[in-house]
Structures are given as C-alpha cells and as structure tokens.
Chain A
C-alpha cells in the first residue's frame, strides 16, 4: 500500500469518482470528480489533534460499526495517503460560529472548510477496472436472525474483532456481554450457492471456506480450549497449501459438520444461540448450542460497477460480475480493446488470484502501450460524394460525432476516420446510399441474405446479430451446449444499428418467414447508444408493415447480451415457433405486397 503512495509514476487520486470516459483504445479522455477532503492531504502529518477536539461521534465504517469515529478522522492507522479527512455530512457545520474546533486545533493550518470538489481531466491509453466487491449483507436471510441476535456476527465483524488493531485489540468478545465466548460456530455459504433464493446468489463466492478455516486456526491459536464448529455444504480447499490448512484446523480439534442450520433460536437468558441442523453425513437432526455464531458471508458485485459498465460499454455475467472477452483464453480482457479487469470485479477471488490477475492485466495493458502506436481495424465508413445530398442525417445519428456535414454550403459529409468506431448506423440511416460501411457493405450483407434464402426459404429464420452482444450470446449458447432449432441463420454486423431497412425488405421479398434483429440491451451498446436508432428504425418498419397489411410480428427485435446464452437459445426456439405459423401463401402474398410498395416508392423518388 505505501509503495503506491510513494511511487513517482503513480498519481493517487483518492476520495474521487470517475465522471466520464470517452474515446477508444490508446486514446481515452478521462474526467474525475475529486471530492473535497477539507484537509490538505500533502500538509497533514496525521497527528490527530483535530480528531481529539471533534465533539461528534459516529459509527466507524472501517470497524463495521463496532467502534466510533469523529467527523474528522483517518480511516485506519496505515491509511494511504496518511492524512485526515472531514466528512461534511457528520460535521456539525463548517461554520466557525457553530464549531470550528478542529481548525483551531490544527497547528499547521491544514483544514479548509471552504474546500470545493475539483474536476480533473487527463488522457490515458489503457484502463484497468478493479472496482472490487462488497461483502454480502445477510439481513434478508431471516432464518439466521442476523439483526435480531447480538451474538450473531458477520465475517467482516469477526475480522475486526480478532484484529489486533481492531476495537477490542484482538480480543474476540460477545456483543451481548463483552465476554470471550467458550464456543463459536461458523455457518458457511451465507448468501452463496443458493439457487432459487431471491435474497441470495447461486454462485460460490470462492474465498469463504478458506477464510473460515483461517479464522478457526486464529481462534484456536488465541483460545486453545474454545469449542469451534463449522457448518458447511462442501469444504472447497482446492488451492496450493489449502488442504494443509484444512487438515491443520481439523487437527486442532475444530469440528466440521456437513449441513447448514435451518433454524437458529436464542436462549433469552444466556443469549446463547441454538442451531438446528440436519447433519447430512449421519442423516440425523442435531441441535447445537453455541455462544457466538459467525455468518461466513459471500461476495457480491460492487454497486459502483454499473456506472463504469455504462460508461465503458462493458458486459456483465448473470451473477453481476464483469464478463471477460473469453473465459479461458482472454480472462483479463474486456470485449473493448484497451480495457482490462483485475480482482473481484471480474469474479469472487482471493488475494493471490486477485494479485495474479492484476499482474496479468498490467502486462496486457503494457503490451498495448509499449509500441506507442496501435493499428485499428479498417472498419470505418466512407462517403460517396457524388450521391451525398448533405442532408446531415449521418452526422445526427453518429454516436461519436465522427461525421461533419456543411449543410449550409451543401458540402458532402466528411468522416473523421480516427474517430469512427465502425457501428454503421450512418450507412443504415442514409436514404441515398451515399455512405458505405467498409467490410459491412450493403452488397456484402445482401449477398448473405440471398445465400440463406436461396433454397427452402420457408424453413429458415434470418437473424441479424451484433458482434458484441447477440452474436457473442450465440457463442455463449454454443460454449454451454444449449441446443436450439437448427434452422436459424445468423448474419453478423458490428452493431444492430447497421441493419438497413432494405436488408429486411430483401429478406421478406426473398421469402423469409421471420426476420430477427438482435443487439445489446440499452445501456450495453458498444457504440454508446447506436441501438436506439435500431429500435426507432424497427418501429418505423413495423408501422409500414401494418399499413401494407403484413403481420408485424414477423419482424422481431430482441436484446440479448453476450452472457445470455440461455436467453439466446430460448429466443431462437421462440423464433422457430413463430416461423411455423407462417404459411407458404402468406410468404407469396408478402413478396407481392413488398414488390408493389417498393416499386411505388421508387417511382415517387424518380418523379421527385
């Protein structure tokens, strides 16, 4: 920790949040809001004179509320930066008439009640997302009575109690009578491995078994005669040296009972806890009395993830942690070039794995930065100046402001290639075919539509899928071996925004019974918000279909994320069911209606 503070290449920006990130690999523009600390972080010597005079007492978050702190405080003695901080919500008022004691006490004059939040801007080439996790809050699990029984603690509370630097200087005591308990029980998988429970999570939190084993060893070291029991489903001690610790714990007399308590009651007199459990090793119902219980809480994704996810168009798995580019071969890469994951933001993991992943992420980032330049895919848009009417729609829909049009002087649109990310929304929206999307041109995509419907069109579902979410969702379905009907044909575009109205008409004209457009969920779009244009376009086409007397449900729009393999497979099954409702007669009729209407439209255009 201290190394970070004094490294000449690291600028530590604490008490800060990311406000905005724009740009692309190699060239991200970052804006950070640095909140007012009210204490000059460079001048503060952490003498503590300010806190001594502060009259406010509030629960200390670092101590899990087991101790109190002042309104001006240092989070913990080894904090980096080693400086006090004033919490403006706790402070009596930064008006010297009301209090102002800390300012008077600070000899160095570090305290400034008028400090303001600052905004910092800088440019970076790569980003490492290490937003971490939060311990699971067991309050909703009523059977354990976490908030009802004072001697029922969470792992984090226990960690503070047994910590030599904690509120009891390392003495483990019951909260009801402040006495050292003669017996302690740990309950595992609290909030983890609970499929079907809406208040908990289906996944294994990875670290809790080993953390409990460590805690039992610490208890046995401090209090050799204490009776320690662990209630578990499975003990997952699979890492290097882990089995050894598990055996050591058993060797010290810790009892491991296979079965989680279904009910906990409190003896009102002694405030001991009575655990009722089915021991699945013996198939017997057992009753265990213990003086203290520790709930081995799992890990949940950090709440801060959502903001970062939206800003960087990252994806999450169904359990809420970030989705990596590939589970085996790119475990620290995000799907966006130049952005990497480290630590529990990606999945629950212990310190060793977090450190390993962080080093891997650093190496992956260095690999991009070292050469000083990077080649970007040549998938950008191109304007046909002869066809362009300078209408400006392309510039309007571009999520990156990469197109400029001089409407006043009727100059054709200009694409700034370095800024173009290649979604293709401009090409889809242009009514004059004046913009080509390199590598995803109209003719290239239409050739795929034709190839699908060349033979037995009635048997097939034409599906457009965006590269980042829906196509990746199809890959996820494949990786998980989730079957769906074999007559789905996917056409990959970079973004669903690329899917031109004429692709849809061509498909229906060529006899497609059902056409599906699929893209990222709103907020997940890889091209900021290009999929909003997809939705608008589809709604427009639906209106036309209704007007022309076509069943509009034959054009479907679905948002499927990269992690939603199950959903992909379900949607495809649904598509095939829909396909079966379309008759040959309906398709023939559709062909005629579309041909007529498109002819009319063409005539109208020529006469204009």
Chain B
C-alpha cells in the first residue's frame, strides 16, 4: 500500500487526546508544577482530557487511562513521565489492553530530561515540561496505527566466552532444552577461575 492509499483508507477522525502528567512521587512533582502543566495542556489542540496523577505506571494510574479511553472515546494518549526507554512498553501495553493501537501513544520525558536535571528551577522546569508536553501532543495528533510483525525465533543460543559466567549460562540454557554454541578463544574452557585454587566464601576448589 502506498502512502497516498494509506492516507485514503483512514477516515478523517476527530482527534481526542488524553494527557496524563505523572508526579512520580516527588521525583517530578518536586521540580515541576504538575497540576499547572495538566491544566495548561487542556488548551492544546485536540486535547479532550488532561490530568495529573501520582504514579502513572502503577495499576491505578493505568486503570485511570483505560477508563478514560472508554468513557471519553480517546484515540490518542500522551503520558508525560519518565524516559520512554523505561516505560514506553508499559504504556503501549496499557493502550492495547484498552483496545487502542499502541502506536497511538506518545511519551514526554519530564523526569530524566526535566525535573532531575533542573531540580532548583521550578519555573523553568515547569515551562520546559509544558513545551515537552506540547511537542508530544502535536506529534500524537499525527500518529498512525501500525501493526507489528511476527518473526520466527531460532531456538538456539550463542555464548561468547567459556569462563564461569559463560559455563553457567550455557548449562542453564542447555538444561532448558536449547541448543547452545559456546565459543571460547583459549584451548580450554574455565577462564581465570580455573587458575585459582580455593575461592571465597566457601573456601573450596574452583574447578
């Protein structure tokens, strides 16, 4: 399908975005006025509802979003909290569970890249958080639902290194029924461990 065709097949929908500002205890709320950001975000284009909450990643936090998706017919979700490298999968899963395509979710990083690095500049940090939320909301409006592809997984593993760690990993995987290739540079496995007589804390032989 070409881009033009794809665009045609998606009917023009009304964008209904839910914005959620996470306080992360005091991790974010200690430097960012979360309530003010949430209130301000209500005025952004396409925003239907905007709230702040103590811990968005917690079960009640996620329940709140799921309920809003159902109640307000939300079709875009923006969570402003920690790094997407940490919780993007959590919130994508949350969207999927509420029947929303997970790629219609967007995250604003107002912890690692805002409250934690501007802890004593509440005004500046709050303004920055607003900008980050605005960026996320405008990007969210343009997000398109996507389908993930399934690929087969080879049920074999490569262990690089035959020291104590490599040996343990290989044995665990092999005992679980997976084929393991263990590649060792030296002529024998054992690594540095094999050179040591007694080892702590048991004071017994290493081999």
- Taking beta carbons and an 8 Å cutoff, which residues of A are in contact with B? 1, 3-5, 7-18, 21, 25-28, 30, 32, 37, 62, 64, 74-76, 78-81, 83, 85, 122-135, 156, 159-160, 162-166, 170, 210-211, 213-214, 217-218, 239-242, 244-245, 304, 308, 326, 329, 342-345, 350-352, 354-355, 357-359, 361-363, 365-366, 368-380, 382-387, 417-418, 436, 438-439, 441, 443-445, 447-448, 450-452, 454, 460, 467, 471-472, 474-475, 477-479, 481-484, 486-487, 489-492, 569
C-alpha gap A376/B141 in the complex (Å):
24
Majority-rule SS of B interface residues: mixed
- Taking beta carbons and an 8 Å cutoff, which residues of B are in contact with A? 1-4, 6, 83-86, 103, 109, 111-114, 116-119, 121, 124-125, 127-128, 131-132, 134-135, 137-139, 141-144, 146-201, 203, 206-207
Q: A16-B185, A354-B164 are in contact. List 4 more A-B contacts (CB 8 A).
A: A18-B160, A369-B157, A375-B148, A460-B131
Once A159-B195, A475-B85 are accepted as A-B contacts, the answer to whether A365 and B157 lie under 8 Å apart by CB is yes
Contacts of B156 in A (CB 8 A): 122-125, 369
Does A214 lie within 8 Å of B199, measured CB to CB? Answer: yes
C-alpha gap A12/B128 in the complex (Å):
55
Most buried by B among A80, A357, A482: A80
C-alpha gap A75/B158 in the complex (Å):
24
Most buried by B among A359, A372, A378, A569: A378
Output the nearest chain B residue to A338 by Cβ-Cβ distance.
B153
Once A156-B195, A326-B86, A472-B85 are accepted as A-B contacts, the answer to whether A125 and B169 lie under 8 Å apart by CB is no
Interchain nearest-CB distance for A491 vs B (Å) = 7
Interchain nearest-CB distance for B143 vs A (Å) = 7
Does B113 lie within 8 Å of A210, measured CB to CB? Answer: no
Does B169 lie within 8 Å of A439, measured CB to CB? Answer: no
Q: 10 smallest A-B Cβ distances: which pairs?
A: A343-B165, A478-B112, A362-B172, A26-B153, A130-B166, A79-B188, A358-B168, A378-B146, A9-B174, A130-B161
Contacts of A362 in B (CB 8 A): 168-170, 172-173, 176
Interchain nearest-CB distance for A12 vs B (Å) = 5
Contacts of A135 in B (CB 8 A): 192
C-alpha gap A454/B138 in the complex (Å):
12
C-alpha gap A135/B2 in the complex (Å):
57
Partner of A132, one of B111, B151, B192, B197: B192
Does B155 lie within 8 Å of A372, measured CB to CB? Answer: yes
Output the nearest chain A residue to B180 by Cβ-Cβ distance.
A10
Once A1-B190, A14-B189, A242-B201 are accepted as A-B contacts, the answer to whether A127 and B195 lie under 8 Å apart by CB is no
Q: What are some 26 contacts across the A-B interface (CB < 8 A)?
A: A7-B174, A10-B180, A11-B179, A11-B180, A15-B185, A125-B157, A129-B160, A131-B160, A131-B161, A134-B192, A135-B192, A213-B200, A214-B198, A342-B159, A344-B163, A344-B165, A354-B168, A362-B168, A369-B155, A373-B150, A376-B148, A441-B144, A478-B112, A479-B116, A481-B116, A486-B117
Output the nearest chain B residue to A170 by Cβ-Cβ distance.
B197
Once A1-B207, A11-B180 are accepted as A-B contacts, the answer to whether A368 and B153 lie under 8 Å apart by CB is yes
Once A125-B153, A369-B153, A369-B178 are accepted as A-B contacts, the answer to whether A451 and B161 lie under 8 Å apart by CB is no
Partner of A30, one of B2, B86, B181: B181
Does A471 lie within 8 Å of B85, measured CB to CB? Answer: yes
Does A123 lie within 8 Å of B154, measured CB to CB? Answer: yes
Once A32-B183, A373-B150, A378-B148 are accepted as A-B contacts, the answer to whether A486 and B161 lie under 8 Å apart by CB is no
Output the nearest chain B residue to A380 by Cβ-Cβ distance.
B149
Once A444-B143, A471-B85, A483-B117 are accepted as A-B contacts, the answer to whether A452 and B131 lie under 8 Å apart by CB is yes
C-alpha gap A76/B85 in the complex (Å):
46
C-alpha gap A176/B152 in the complex (Å):
63
Contacts of B172 in A (CB 8 A): 358-359, 362-363, 366
Once A16-B184, A27-B153, A378-B147 are accepted as A-B contacts, the answer to whether A129 and B162 lie under 8 Å apart by CB is no
Contacts of A11 in B (CB 8 A): 179-182
Does B117 lie within 8 Å of A217, measured CB to CB? Answer: no
Once A7-B174, A15-B186, A125-B154 are accepted as A-B contacts, the answer to whether A160 and B139 lie under 8 Å apart by CB is no
Does A441 lie within 8 Å of B190, measured CB to CB? Answer: no
C-alpha gap A133/B166 in the complex (Å):
12
